[in-house]
Amino acid sequence: MKKTISLVMILAILFVLTVDMANAKLVACVGDSITYGSGISNRNYNSYPAQLDRMLQKFDNQWQVQNFGVSGATLLRNADKPYVQQSAYNQVLAAEPDAVIIKLGTNDSKPHNWIHKDDFISDYIFLIDTFAELPSKPKIWICKPVPAFNDNFGISNAVIKDEIIPLVSQIAELKSAEVIDLYTALSDASALFPDGIHPNAEGAKLIAEAIAPVSTPDFNGDGIVDAADMSIIVDHWGENYPLCDIGPAPFGDNIIDVQDLIVLAEYLFTEPGLIAYWKLDETEGIVAKDSAGANDANIVGDPLWQPDGGMVDGALQLDGVDDYVGTDFILNPTEESFSVFAWVKGGAAGQVVLSQAGGANWLSTNPSDGNLITELKGTGRSASPLQSQTIITDDNWHRIGLVRDGSLRTLYVDSVAVAQDTQDGLGGLENGLYIGIGNAMQPGTYWSGLIDDVRIYNRVVTP
């Protein structure tokens, strides 16, 4: 069928949209010990709700995720620990969340609880209806429980798979509720469940990733929300296309329509996850302004501003002797996925574009041939730098980058991946960064050439 909406119409709709962004948006995670984070080291940081919070914060810093999990809790009201009899339940009601994610059923599979299985549907509907009647009118998702890889604590995977999950599907049909299939999403993750029931931090991350939106409005991954992303919405208007299904935020509604435009309008011409951006377009002075936040950088030495000499407007010319740029703490590479990019011209073998004080050289050149490398590596015996076979010191402009996605490291030159490997547990510090010098300020690591448009994201960006 021929599309009946054009880019012009999209722009007209966006022009008249009014979006209220003043109020925080609360996601309540209702569940048992898996939600609570039992057995997870530093559960306040690594439980699935905590990791989901950080994922949604990157999408929109107004979202807040709160953990209302209760260890041992059941959905069944006649079981040994009904969720609706716990204080956390009353706390959810009082919080009046904008979204509720229900992940219950694992403890219901215990034999002494499952004798009440005939009440499962009615008890689940009671819980859904109670949340739905809140003044905040939250959107509600119900989850198929994660697998039980061992039948520990009386929990039965056979009951979860063959009885509880089909009932969850029935409930979804009865209530027109949306389902998140955690059972399938975690089916191959037994190694991340030390006791067979509770995930470790990495397993909790997989749960969060299954719940979190799969994209930001930066649909094509070019680092900015713009007309190109609007065009992708136009191409899939009226379809169930998950990549663009961002509205109502944060989880969409299975169709590409005006709700997705409303969300996109909030981010139009912004760069999601951009936490530091030094354009280096100044014409004078000893400060490089951070266009993304409050991380203005200090100019050291006597570099020359080149207002018309950059790849993107102006740039900074460093002499390779004593010039560099210093910043306060921006990002610890051990904690999250991230991306860093910069335009460079000139330089020589062994010189550094970006490093962390006392830490590692994030973007530098191989001392023997000038090829792009990163020395940001893991801490184990197998840890090693990632080296490309692409020279960047040929006196041409190159956009270089390092992207960390989980355990994957990727180096980019001019939007092409030139080296990639897996490296767990990157070493990092909560120290500031150096632009144009090595991590220990060693002679020979000072950059001799131009640097322009340095960007750091707390998410994966594909150039």
In angstroms, how far is CA 160 from the centroid of its own chain? 30
pLDDT tens, position by position, for the chain (463 residues)? 445 555 555 555 555 444 443 345 899 999 999 999 999 988 998 999 999 988 787 666 678 899 999 999 999 999 999 999 999 999 999 999 988 999 999 999 999 999 999 999 999 999 999 999 999 988 899 999 999 999 999 999 999 999 999 999 999 999 988 888 999 989 999 999 999 999 999 999 999 988 875 456 777 767 678 888 888 988 999 998 877 887 876 667 778 988 888 888 877 777 777 899 999 999 999 999 999 888 999 999 999 999 999 999 999 999 999 999 999 999 888 867 899 999 999 999 999 999 999 999 999 999 999 999 999 998 878 889 999 999 999 999 999 999 998 778 999 999 999 999 988 778 878 899 999 999 999 999 999 999 999 999 988 887 7
The C-alpha atoms of residue 99 and residue 39 are separated, in whole angstroms, by 26
pTM, whole model, 2 decimals?
0.60
Rounded to whole angstroms, the Cα distance separating 303 from 300 reads: 8
Please name each of the domains of the chain with its CATH number: 12-211 (3.40.50.1110), 218-271 (1.10.1330.10), 274-457 (2.60.120.200)
Rg over CA atoms, the chain: 25
The region, left, alpha or beta by phi > 0 then psi within -120 to 50, assigned to residue 142 is beta
Phi, psi of 399 (to 5 degrees): -95, 115
Peptide bond connecting 250 to the previous residue in cis, omega within 30 degrees of 0: yes
**8 A C-beta contact, residue 83 and residue 49:** no
Chain position carrying tokens 């961002």:
246
Rounded Cα–Cα distance for residues 447 and 94 (Å)? 57
**What sign has the CA pseudo-torsion 193, 197, 200, 204?**
positive
Query: Of 399, 267, 410, 289, which Cα lies nearest the Cα of 338?
Result: 410
In single-letter form, the type of residue at position 22 comes to A
Q: What is d(CA 381, CA 400) in angstroms, rounded to the nearest whole number?
A: 28
Structure tokens belonging to residue 154: 């009386």
Cis peptide before 248 (omega within 30 of 0): yes
CA atoms 316, 327, 439, 378: torsion sign: negative
Strands 63-69 and 25-31: parallel
Task: Please say whether the beta carbons of 371 and 391 come within 8 A.
Answer: yes
SS3 state at 26 = strand
